[in-house]
Amino acid sequence: MNDSIIVDHLTKHYRDNDEAGLHGIDFAVPTGTICGLLGPNGAGKSTTVKILSTLTRVDSGSATVAGFDVRTQASDVRASIGMVGQNAAVDEILTGRQNLVMFGRLTHRSARTARLHADEALERFGLTAAAERPVGTYSGGMRRRLDLAVSLMSDPPVLFVDEPTTGLDPSARRDVWSAIRARADAGCTVLLTTQYLEEADELADSIVMLQAGRVVAQGTPTELKTEAGANWMDVTFDTVDHARRAVAVVDGVLETEDKKVRIPLQNRGTEVLHMADILRDHALDPVDIAIRQPTLDEVFFRLTEQTHGGAA
């Protein structure tokens, strides 16, 4: 099997709301890779994950997960998937280690293997020092790491990961990323929904961008950045006032950030020269001009901006 998740013309209508739901989406996730499912609020991410995890019904189209049809083989699908990010069934009274060992036993490990895997998980998520404390005493970040450690103990072939690093500090976030990457390297197929495009950029082998129930872009992070229209120019001025004046005279400025304005370029060479002329005509003297590839955030913004008809 090459694709562990296949979504084919999937449609879902919600009663009383014609615009909502999914309007025929297609994508596939190769086995052992991470796919980032992105989109603004209401795009259809949760609906897609609910369909793939058999929590909600499909109207038309089809989907398979680990080779099983979500409509006709729901229990096989459920046996093949893990969900990370929903509150895992962690017991507040038990210690971190006890929770992990219990979960290891529930997923058919011997007592010895369960203890071994629990210790590995504690170590990997930086919870060794807190291992003997009841989970009720854990901080939010520690709790989050334990939830993830518990979810990963079951070792399913397909993993749905929902906003895995919300509320984590940068180093805990790195730990989570490397744990997810390690699962994929071991052959697990991961569908990741996240609001952090930086996270998708870091982790995802492929990306599916949804907007209003349709796929508006898909590809590798690099493909999306390349397709999104060439490069960006960051122009920095020595005062905020100059940056504001530049926004007023230059077409296509997307955003200002303090003394910097960010301008999307279609055709790098001539546009840069043209921009320089405009700035000179208005006596605006930049302290720095840099040309760079777009970030995934900007790709995303541009795509969703287009479909919104430019309304910001």
Nearer to ligand ATP, 94 or 216 (CB): 216
Binding track, positions 276-295, relative to ligand ATP; x by CB under 6 A: --------------------
Q: Which is nearer to ligand ATP, 32 or 42 (CB)?
A: 42
Q: Which one of Mg ion, ligand ATP, none interacts with residue 21, CB within 5 to 8 A by kind? A: ligand ATP
DSSP assignment of 131-167: TTSBGGG--HHHHHHHHHHHHHHT--SEEEEESTTTT
Nearest-approach distance from CB 227 to ligand ATP, in angstroms: 22
306 with 299: CB under 8 angstroms?
Answer: no
- By CB atoms closer than 10 A (0-12, 13-18, 19+), residue 42 is middle
Positive or negative, the CA dihedral 294, 298, 304, 306 is negative
Indicate which single residue of 31, 46, 62, 154 sits in contact with Mg ion (rule: CB under 5 A): 46
Residues 32-61 touching ligand ATP, rule: CB under 6 A, are 39, 41-47
Closest CA relative to residue 61, chosen from 21, 33, 34: 21
Q: Is residue 56 part of the contact set for Mg ion (CB under 5 A)? A: no
Cα of 232 vs its chain's centroid, Å:
23
Tokens 């999307």 map to which residue? 264
Least CB distance to Mg ion at residue 128 (A):
34
114 binds, among Mg ion, ligand ATP, none (CB under 5 to 8 A by kind): none
Site string for ligand ATP, 4-23 (x = CB under 6 A): ----------x--x--xx--
158 with 130: CB under 8 angstroms? no
Binding stretches for ligand ATP (CB under 6 A): 14, 17, 20-21, 39, 41-47
